[in-house]
Every structure is written in C-alpha cells, then in structure tokens.
Amino acid sequence: MRKRTAVVNAFWDLFVVAALWAILTAGQPLLSGAVESLFHQKPWVHRLLMSAVTLVFFGLCVMRYGRRSAGRPLEESLLEKSLRRLKLTPRGTVWLLFLISAGLGIVGSVVRHRVFHTSFDMAIFTQAVWNTVHGNFLFSSIKGGICLLGDHFSPVLALLALPYALWTDPECLLVIQAVSSAACVFPIFLLAKRQYEHAWIPVLFCAAFVLYLPARNAVRFDFHPEVLAMPLLLWAFDAIETRKLRWASAMLLLSLAVKENAALVTFALGFYGAVFKKYRLFGAGWMAVSALYFFAVIRYVIPYFSGEEYFYLRGNYNAWQETGAASLFRHVFHVSSAAYLIKIFAPLAFLSFLDGPTFMLTLPMLAQNLIARNPMARSIFFQYTALLTPFVFISAIYGGRRILNHKIAIYYFAVMVLLFAGVSEYFVIANYADKATPHMGIVKHELKSIPPDASVRTHEFLASHLAHRKQIHIYENNHPREGGSDKARTADCVVVDRLFLGEREDQALQELTQQGYRIVKSNDGLTVLTR
C-alpha cells in the first residue's frame, strides 16, 4: 500500500510540475510552427486551451486537498513536503507576488522597447523628461513645441527627472512604472486583511492583481504617468478607511499630479468619505478641490501651455452634442460596452457589483471610457484602465465579504481569476523576444551615430530611441503643428526604415531628396538623410 502511495505521489509531483510549466509558458516551447501560427491568427483558441488546462489542474488540486480536509488519510508527496518546509506566511507570499509582478513587468516592457515596439507615447514622455533634466521644462517637440502640460496636465513628470538624471535611459521610466504597479499588492493585502478572517483570502486578491490582464497590459504598453497613481489611490482609500485623513489627502494630492482626469476619481473619493464615512469636512473639501482643479486645469492651465482649448474634451465628449442623444445611446449600449465590462469585472468574479458604496467609485472612469469616442478607451490593452483598476479591486474586496466565507464561493472566485487571466506573461515576453532580428542590431548601431544636437524626423517606433534631444518629430504624423510643421519638415536629419515604409520606400526617398535631403548612410534598409 505504501509503495502504491509513493508511486501515486511521484506521478502527482510530475503532473504538478508539468502543468505549472505548461501554464506559465503557455506551452510555447512545445508548439509547432503550424500550431503557433494558428494561435497568432486566432488567439482566442490559445486562450481557451490554456484556460482548460488551468481549470483541469485547479480541479485536480481541489479534489486532492479536499480529501485531506475531509479527514481521509493522504500522505504528502515530496513536493508538498518541500513547500510546507518553506513555511510561507501570507505577508511573505505578498512580497513574493510583488517581486514576481515587478520582475515580469520590467522584463516585458523592456523587451518590448528593445525590439522597437514602443512608439508615440513612449517617445513623448521620454523626450519631455529628458528635456526637463536639461533645463527645458517638459518641452515636447513631438506635440508641437509646447510644454507637455499643454497636452495632458501631468506635473508628476517633473519629479521623474530626478531618477532620470541618474539613469538616463527610457528603460528607467519603464522600470518605475512596473514597480509602481506591482506595489499595489501591499494596500490590496491590507484592505482585504481587515475584511476577511481567513488569512489567505487577502493573498488570493493579491494574486488576482498580479494576473489581472488590464493592469498587466497597462504596464507593458509604453509609459503613462496615470499608472503611477494606481498604488496612490489604493493607499488613499486605505487611509480614508482607517481615518488617517492627512495621509489620505497627501495621496490624493499626488494622484492629482498624474493627469487632469484623476480629479474625477478624487472627487468620487471625497463623495465616498462625506456620505458613507461621515467625514463631512474632508469629503466636501475634496469634492470642492477636485471640481475646481479639474475646471481650472482644462479651462485655463492647459490652454495656457498649449495655446488652444483642451482638445480631448472636444474630440471625445463634446462631439456628442453635434451627433445627438440617439447616437450617444447607441455608442454606450453597443455590444462592445458589454464585452468591455466583462473584461473588467469578470477576472474578479463580478464581486464588485455586490457592494454599492465602493462600486460607485468605479463609475467616473467607467463613464469616461464608455462615453469616449476613441475606441481604444474601451480596450483593456492600453492605459485607459489605470485609474479604474484600483476601484475594481476595492469594490471586489468589499463585495466579496458577502460570499467568500463559503468554500464553494472561494473556488468560484479562484476559477474566475484563472479563467480570465489570459496567456502567461512568459508567453508574451517570449513572443516579443522572438521578434529580435539582426536588422534591429544594425538599427541600434546606426542610431547611435546620429549627432545628439541634430533635430530628427523619424518613425514613431524609432522615436523613443532617439528622444534624447530637444527636437524630434514623428515621420508619420502630418498634424500641421506637430509632424507636419515647418520645423519637422526641415529637420536636420531624417531616419527612415524599409521595415516601416514597405512598398512606399522608393517614393518616400524620392520625396525627401526633392525636399533638399541627401542620403548619407544606407544600411540593410535603414536610411539616414541630412540637408
């Protein structure tokens, strides 16, 4: 009998290791070329397959440990004994999750940058921070030669000049962003710890954050200052809950500095404090500050720095006044809205809907993203979920209090977390790493030869690698104040690549030579032209 148990345990350990390896790598090392091509063409097939593998693994784990909790004798396997000897505590596990999340976020975003997949936004913020280090406060030639506060009001960028002066590399911003996002696990753990008696349920919420696809995508997609607000807003809510109102105000002030629309969520937090926590002065004060701040910034401050009215309000929201209420209604209640809500709330088992006061905190960003004409605003692949994510988790933690005291509900929550986690970060990183080619090495070498004081016009995917200069312009941008301006059209140097020009290469080079440029270097499809 003991021999049979030993054999069963050995097979169990092998199964666990193989299943975890398959889940963490998304099976990529085993994929044939044809299968990998199918998964790229139909990623939902890959996600469905990995979800099935994950659920089978989870189900077998539940069955095995369910027998033990039912009092049936079950000898521990070697792997189980090793894990027990580690004596991981909930707090220690949270630190481990932080390191995993930060590490994967750093590697994923840095690898993406190194294979020239960071683009327009990365170049904008890199140049603005670099210019601040060199005495030109948040200057952005990409956005038309303005202080970047005239595009979005993000004064926190000025603070980033301090670490950037020590490590002058776009990867510095990516590392700061990844670490900031990963740090959300600490306030999530503390918030959940106060709501649940079971010591490991808070850890489950932290694991859910590490797997939460909107947060992972926001970290990987270039650099955006609003991602830095995620832990700040969580700490602000935690401080409100524990009546540390000065600390809450400090976190809210810092949150306002990331972007002008953060005032919408600080207003909601003020309302929450006034109505649900009875902090009348604090709540009313922050509602007033947030409303005045938002109005002043979009009405006076941004136009002062840009020389024109606030574009994003006009382009995304005011346009509905022209098209009418029926058009807005069709837009908001489109099937894509339902798909968006599922992608936001399903990874936390829709627990957010079970607590009205905290769910209310999600409404400002939900309304912003659902009403916006920009279709990317209702996607989970960009930065638009950053100011929403903290409140999705807060409301899920509070909503879960109603059901997560039952074992079956905990299993349901864990299954939903795993089911909507998407493919592993390893798979995403490996896909980006596979895009590296010898041509990219040539491009990196040639870009280093561009004089640092030369004004440059180049592709958006090369721009962040050439952004350490006062004047850089995007080749594909024809906006008359930006890439189509006289400064852009008469830049000292133009760098173009066959990879991005495609069949238009000969035509583009002919147009540039007609504009007075001459080819000074051509290497493997990369062409450098100067006047």
Residues contacting 96, CB < 8 A, separation 6+? 88
Contact 77, 134 (CB under 8 A): no
Residue 28 to residue 44: CA distance in whole angstroms = 15
pLDDT in tens, 173-205: 999 999 999 999 999 999 999 999 989 999 999
At residue 10 the predicted structure's pLDDT band, cuts being 50, 70 and 90, is confident
Q: Do 212 and 339 lie in a common domain?
A: yes
In a domain, 357, yes or no: yes
Output the average pLDDT for the chain. 90
Q: Do 399 and 323 lie in a common domain?
A: yes
Name the pairing type of β-strands 456-458 and 146-147.
unpaired
pLDDT at 321: 74
pLDDT in tens, 340-382: 999 999 999 999 999 999 999 999 999 999 998 888 888 999 9
Q: Do 190 and 327 lie in a common domain?
A: yes
Q: Do 394 and 460 lie in a common domain?
A: no
Q: Do 376 and 450 lie in a common domain?
A: no
Residue 223 to residue 445: CA distance in whole angstroms = 24
The partner residues of 481 in beta bridges, in order of sequence, read none
**Of 315-329, 430-444, 473-487, minimum mean pLDDT range:** 315-329
Among the candidates 350, 380, 405, a domain finishes at 405
Residue 412 to residue 402: CA distance in whole angstroms = 14
Among the candidates 405, 426, 446, a domain finishes at 405
At residue 519 the predicted structure's pLDDT band, cuts being 50, 70 and 90, is very high
At residue 70 the predicted structure's pLDDT band, cuts being 50, 70 and 90, is low
Q: Do 107 and 182 lie in a common domain?
A: yes
- At 245, phi and psi to the nearest 5? -75, -30
In a domain, 250, yes or no: yes
pLDDT in tens, 394-430: 999 999 998 998 888 988 999 899 889 888 888 889 8
pLDDT cut 90: percent of the chain above it? 68
Q: Do 392 and 486 lie in a common domain?
A: no
In a domain, 68, yes or no: yes
Domain count across the chain: 3
- Output the 3-class SS for 160-188: CHHHHHHCCCHHHHHHHHHHHHHCCHHHH
In a domain, 156, yes or no: no
Q: Do 382 and 463 lie in a common domain?
A: no
Q: Do 389 and 445 lie in a common domain?
A: no
Using the predicted structure, report yes or no on whether residue 32 has a pLDDT greater than 70: no
pTM of the shown model: 0.92
Q: Do 269 and 356 lie in a common domain?
A: yes
Using the predicted structure, report yes or no on whether residue 25 has a pLDDT greater than 80: no
In a domain, 345, yes or no: yes
Q: Do 178 and 220 lie in a common domain?
A: yes
Residue 246 to residue 291: CA distance in whole angstroms = 20
Positive/negative CA dihedral, 182, 187, 190, 195? negative
Most distant pair of Cα atoms in the chain: their distance: 87
In a domain, 307, yes or no: yes
Domain limits at 456? Answer: 438-530
Among the candidates 382, 405, 428, a domain finishes at 405
Q: Do 379 and 457 lie in a common domain?
A: no
**Of 103-117, 302-316, 432-446, 451-465, minimum mean pLDDT range:** 302-316
In a domain, 186, yes or no: yes
